[in-house]
Chains A and B, each alone.
Chain A
């Protein structure tokens, strides 16, 4: 089932307006891990979404990958390490 993302700039929007930017990696990861290794967690995961059809800003989400329930949306900078 799809879901909506409460964009702090634009409001509740279908996830189809966003580009998925992947998991926020562990800041201790090196480039290799960042490029190739994914945790792909079944559960709450911190990840990046770019609001391509809206404000064109990155959001950091805490999303349950099993239920698509979104627990937190942040427009702050991603934790050091990037995506």
Chain B
């Protein structure tokens, strides 16, 4: 990251390498001023015609000085300090920006009108695919660095009453007024406040205001941080040096000032034509000469005084006479007034956004700016001053995208008769400067034609208002990681952790096969504390659940539990889990790890809709859970418990309260793995005690803890679905082959009417089990074909150690209600197989 200008000023002279030769930089130099001093006049080649472009605005508003700095393309040389810069290369010229063969495009411009992709290049038929390759290579500027290390940008949230964009007089006054009224304020400026101004009273005033604001405890000042977008919320994204700031204000003040008016005229884009602020900055702050014969055209004012003060000999021409005078010169300085730098205002206009200062009243006095700042603090915007961008005399309207007046006229003739249509068709305003220089000309162009029905309104701007890197757009938080009580135990055992929703869970402890076979042959255990866990109680709890779930609730006695699907009104499966009465009118519900959050909203919504008196408590984080499973699971628990655990006393699909190693557990006999299994739900604080006791006691029994990967194989062998992975948004129980989980012979439940309607229709797709010969199965997601036709795709697939072949679940398209029996995936044959693949009678889990 390049340091701010003032820091650079304190540093000593140094050099950087510019296209193979050393260039010296003095203290205070930007990349642009150092290059200019070294004799560089052409800074870039333009986007389409490869016209030579030189320094123009020097305020970071135009595209002319975009160069590649230290390998990073599209850096604005005029606002980048030379300190810390090592390599600078110009963009878009071939073989070089000085001598660019592609400049010939300018002479071919009649062949390259607006929309030439669809005009010039479409004949002969079939030419486009070949031409496209060339066009793609030539188009665009700079080249994206592909060898940079992976970047991670952090985002930080700020909550404030007021956000102010821009640290000029009006912005600072607005921020101070708000802070002094007791409100919290965040002010962001894209540079260092006051830095760009020449020494003088204005700069002193700004620095005085900034010092007061920085000292105010209610205020946060962000510098070298450009507000790039206003989003819903309101939310303002501010691109800082280290962080992306996400500001959540109640109100927004946009005080981003104004930019000097860009005047399109033939030759107006050539190097040597300057906007006067840029010219003043180059000759004043950097002491560089603009040329031997300099003509100043436009309004006399501060910048003319500054240019004169720097000792420049100028021929001055008033703007209104400029067209008629012919003068030889090697530099032309334009001072044609200001246009608002209003990108943010055009993004986020609304009751919460007020403008202040030059951005609404370009060219206002300092006193006017202060006044409008104070008004903006109260949410008031001044009446905008009408901007007259001046006549279009040919030449380039949009420097970024190389759009000429002629292009606009062509577009108009083709019927694109509003600013928004001109923008889309010509791409004017859509380049790196985002319309800072050209936006107002579109409106003027339309107004000039004065046609009824033509819309001359300002175009809507969209983020980013200033150029950003892709990594800025991707900035975010290191995701919040949910951990179970056993997290450190997993790490101690060498677990490789993986994300499961917002949780971190062990994928494996290192030896996948050992984990798998322990469950099938001896005993394994797994931390399943991430499951969604809820207690529902209250007078209407049973009635509520009966109406919510497609399974029968009324006959569910205490001590029993049931697997159940969760359906929405359309009859589609949105989650699955278990339901178990705890007695005393309390019910214990489990959901999938990923489904827990939405389950809560789902439960509460229906309870309110039906007016049921129920209480819903999310105990996901209060309760831990460990699943002990395998043929020797009972033996394992018996070693640590005095409770009766025999198959008679505690059969399959039952709930018992047991004490294991002194820990009070709600134990549920379930069979997700296909073996005898006990899900032990316990107070979170007892998790480590329970885990340690099981681990120690199980050593003799061959106990191996397993992670998600072993579980994926174990459950797939049983044909158990994972909601979200094996289901689609429109998966009905019938399509999943799980019609048994729905009791159409009970009363009304959510989704029932939809299922009744669907009952008569044969499903068009079905989730089926597939068996592939060989040591592996085709990858998940693999497309399936039957004959020559696409037949479906795989959703889960693994090699099954116990069956010695690949097994999978996948969606198949049905013909006459039935899926094909034999499909291919990448040349491998898969046979549709009834699930479960393993222990189809379920004898093992009932043992």
Please report A residues at the B interface, Cβ cutoff 8 Å.
Answer: 1-4, 12, 14-16, 19, 21, 30-32, 34-36, 48, 50, 52, 56-58, 77-78, 80-83
Contact with B609, one of A3, A35, A50, A83 (Cβ below 8 angstroms): A83
Min CB distance B171 to A, Å, is 21
Residues of B within 8 A of A19 (CB): 601
CA separation between A57 and B601, bound complex, in Å? 8
* A21-B601, A31-B751 known; A1+B608 contact, CB < 8 A: no
**Nearest-CB residue, chain B, relative to A4:** B250
**Nearest-CB residue, chain B, relative to A13:** B248
Interface residues of B in 730-764 (CB under 8 A from A): 750-754, 757
**Nearest-CB residue, chain A, relative to B752:** A31
Interface residues of B in 742-793 (CB under 8 A from A): 750-754, 757
| Cβ–Cβ contact B605 & A21, under 8 A | yes
| Cβ–Cβ contact B754 & A50, under 8 A | no
CA separation between A35 and B753, bound complex, in Å? 10
Min CB distance B756 to A, Å, is 9
Q: Is the interface of B mostly helix, strand, loop or mixed?
A: mixed
| Cβ–Cβ contact A30 & B597, under 8 A | no
Contact with B611, one of A30, A48, A52, A80 (Cβ below 8 angstroms): A80
Min CB distance A58 to B, Å, is 6
**Nearest-CB residue, chain A, relative to B571:** A35
Contact with A58, one of B234, B351, B604 (Cβ below 8 angstroms): B604
| Cβ–Cβ contact A31 & B754, under 8 A | yes
Interface string of B595-625 (1 = CB under 8 A from A): 0010011001110111100000010000000
- 15 CB < 8 A contacts A-B: A1-B234, A1-B348, A1-B352, A2-B233, A3-B232, A3-B233, A14-B233, A31-B751, A31-B752, A32-B753, A56-B600, A56-B618, A77-B608, A78-B608, A82-B605
Residues of B within 8 A of A21 (CB): 601, 605
User: Is B692 close to A, CB under 8 A?
Assistant: no
CA separation between A3 and B235, bound complex, in Å? 10
User: Is B149 close to A, CB under 8 A?
Assistant: no
| Cβ–Cβ contact A14 & B570, under 8 A | no
* A2-B234, A58-B604, A82-B609 known; A32+B754 contact, CB < 8 A: yes
CA separation between A72 and B677, bound complex, in Å? 51
Min CB distance A81 to B, Å, is 6
Min CB distance A61 to B, Å, is 14
User: Is B569 close to A, CB under 8 A?
Assistant: yes
* A34-B569, A81-B609 known; A58+B601 contact, CB < 8 A: yes
CA separation between A34 and B609, bound complex, in Å? 13
| Cβ–Cβ contact A58 & B605, under 8 A | yes
Residues of B within 8 A of A35 (CB): 568-570, 754
**Nearest-CB residue, chain A, relative to B597:** A52
Residues of A within 8 A of B453 (CB): none
* A1-B348, A14-B235, A15-B233 known; A36+B570 contact, CB < 8 A: yes
Contact with A50, one of B250, B605, B752 (Cβ below 8 angstroms): B605
Min CB distance A78 to B, Å, is 5
Residues of B within 8 A of A34 (CB): 569
**Nearest-CB residue, chain A, relative to B750:** A31
Min CB distance A40 to B, Å, is 17
Residues of B within 8 A of A83 (CB): 605, 609
| Cβ–Cβ contact B757 & A32, under 8 A | yes
**Nearest-CB residue, chain A, relative to B231:** A2
**Nearest-CB residue, chain A, relative to B570:** A35
CA separation between A81 and B569, bound complex, in Å? 12
User: Is B350 close to A, CB under 8 A?
Assistant: yes
**Nearest-CB residue, chain A, relative to B612:** A77
| Cβ–Cβ contact B235 & A2, under 8 A | yes
Interface size for B (C-beta < 8 A) is: 31
CA separation between A35 and B352, bound complex, in Å? 36
Contact with A48, one of B231, B568, B605 (Cβ below 8 angstroms): B605
Residues of B within 8 A of A15 (CB): 232-233
Contact with A57, one of B348, B350, B604 (Cβ below 8 angstroms): B604
Min CB distance A38 to B, Å, is 13
**Nearest-CB residue, chain A, relative to B748:** A31
Q: Which of B350, B600, B604, B608 has the most CB of A within 10 A?
A: B608
Min CB distance B625 to A, Å, is 22
| Cβ–Cβ contact A82 & B608, under 8 A | yes
Min CB distance B581 to A, Å, is 24
CA separation between A21 and B602, bound complex, in Å? 10
Residues of B within 8 A of A58 (CB): 601, 604-605, 608
Min CB distance B616 to A, Å, is 10
| Cβ–Cβ contact A14 & B609, under 8 A | no
* A80-B611, A82-B606 known; A30+B233 contact, CB < 8 A: no
Contact with A82, one of B250, B351, B610 (Cβ below 8 angstroms): B610
Residues of A within 8 A of B606 (CB): 82
Residues of A within 8 A of B250 (CB): 4, 12
CA separation between A61 and B610, bound complex, in Å? 18
For the A-B complex with A52-B597, A81-B609 known, give 8 more contacts whose Cβ atoms are closer than 8 Å: A16-B235, A19-B601, A21-B601, A31-B751, A56-B604, A57-B604, A80-B611, A83-B605
Residues of A within 8 A of B597 (CB): 52
CA separation between A36 and B571, bound complex, in Å? 12
Min CB distance A6 to B, Å, is 12
**Nearest-CB residue, chain B, relative to A57:** B604
Interface residues of B in 494-519 (CB under 8 A from A): none
Residues of B within 8 A of A4 (CB): 250
Residues of B within 8 A of A31 (CB): 569, 750-754
**Nearest-CB residue, chain B, relative to A82:** B609
Q: Which of A1, A50, A52 has the most CB of B within 10 A?
A: A1
Q: Which of A2, A3, A14, A77 has the most CB of B within 10 A?
A: A2
**Nearest-CB residue, chain B, relative to A51:** B601
Interface string of B102-123 (1 = CB under 8 A from A): 0000000000000000000000
* A1-B352, A4-B250, A35-B754 known; A80+B609 contact, CB < 8 A: yes
CA separation between A78 and B248, bound complex, in Å? 30
CA separation between A34 and B605, bound complex, in Å? 14
| Cβ–Cβ contact B235 & A77, under 8 A | no
CA separation between A62 and B600, bound complex, in Å? 23
Residues of B within 8 A of A16 (CB): 232-233, 235
Q: Which of A31, A35, A82 has the most CB of B within 10 A?
A: A31
Residues of A within 8 A of B248 (CB): 14
| Cβ–Cβ contact B753 & A30, under 8 A | yes
Residues of A within 8 A of B750 (CB): 31
| Cβ–Cβ contact B601 & A1, under 8 A | no
Min CB distance B594 to A, Å, is 15
| Cβ–Cβ contact B611 & A77, under 8 A | yes
* A32-B757, A81-B609 known; A50+B232 contact, CB < 8 A: no
Min CB distance B83 to A, Å, is 39
CA separation between A42 and B37, bound complex, in Å? 60
CA separation between A12 and B233, bound complex, in Å? 12
Contact with B232, one of A1, A30, A80, A82 (Cβ below 8 angstroms): A1
* A14-B235, A31-B753 known; A52+B601 contact, CB < 8 A: yes
Min CB distance B236 to A, Å, is 11
| Cβ–Cβ contact B232 & A2, under 8 A | yes
**Nearest-CB residue, chain A, relative to B234:** A2
Min CB distance A25 to B, Å, is 10
CA separation between A6 and B348, bound complex, in Å? 22
**Nearest-CB residue, chain A, relative to B235:** A2
Residues of A within 8 A of B232 (CB): 1-3, 15-16
CA separation between A57 and B616, bound complex, in Å? 11
* A14-B235, A35-B568, A36-B570 known; A77+B348 contact, CB < 8 A: no
Residues of A within 8 A of B609 (CB): 77-78, 80-83
Min CB distance B550 to A, Å, is 13
**Nearest-CB residue, chain A, relative to B609:** A82
CA separation between A21 and B608, bound complex, in Å? 13
CA separation between A2 and B231, bound complex, in Å? 7
CA separation between A67 and B570, bound complex, in Å? 31
